[in-house]
Amino acid sequence: MGKIKVNRYKKMVRTMLQDIADRFRRNSTWEIIEAYDDKRGQYLLFTDGWKEDIRDYGCFMHIQVREDGRIFIRRDGTDLDIGQQILDTGVQKNEMIIGFHSPMMQEWSDFAKA
């Protein structure tokens, strides 16, 4: 996989997550924390807030762009279908890993295996 394509995927994923973070900020009282590591291809979104006296803190989106050019969706805690959004940019199914699917489920899909 060429470095140019990997860098394009990193930029695309980062832009998507920045847009999602901005959208969540407009519609939520929780703080949305963005954590991006372009060098290692790690892109994460976290929530931090309170619902009455219970703290809600955690990662709701984690995507990794691997150096082999595969996009690894490790966590999608939204109803936005980020996988389809990535496919809509032209990424092929065999370049995307759905990490929250079990290994058995991955065997039956058209997506890349972890």
* Mean pLDDT of the 22-34 span: 93
Please determine, looking at this structure, whether the domain spanning 3-107 carries the CATH number 3.90.1150.10: no
Tokens for 83, please give them: 């996988």
The model carries a pTM of 0.88
Cα–Cα distance, 72 to 113 (Å, whole number): 10
pLDDT band at 99 (very low <50, low <70, confident <90, very high): confident
Mean pLDDT for the chain overall: 90
For residue 106, the model assigns a pLDDT of 58
